[in-house]
Amino acid sequence: MVCLIIQTVTSQGVSQVMHAGGAIFVDSGSQSNITGSFFSFNTAGQSGGAVSQADSSSVINTCQFNSNSGSTQGGALFQNNMTGSVTGCTFLNNSGATGVCSCDSIVM
């Protein structure tokens, strides 16, 4: 199991476009705690312009998501088959084909 703890990260996208999770990608069996971070101008070729998470556990608190984009799912945030929570976050000017946040099979 991988445990990821992120506090006070500022991520501003550059010219590289990631497939999933423009700034952060968390996958199978991992745990993440993302707190007090600012994500802006990140792009994903498919899901989660800033953050993409699947088959894992996550807590996201007091983060700002501004002007991120995901081509298919979740302009700012994509979560699939997850447990955890997203609280106290601000989402501004994000874009994705299925909305700003796309969540599937989430247990909070």
Q: Judge if pTM exceeds 0.85.
A: no
The total number of structural domains in the chain stands at 1
Q: Both tokens of residue 108? A: 């909070």
Which domain range does residue 72 map to? Answer: 3-107
Q: How far is CA 30 from CA 3, 5, 25, 69, 76, in A?
A: 6, 11, 10, 24, 20
Q: Both tokens of residue 47? A: 């899901």
pLDDT (tens digit, 9 = 90+) per residue, 56-74? 888 899 999 988 888 887 8
Residue 13 has pLDDT above 60, yes or no: no
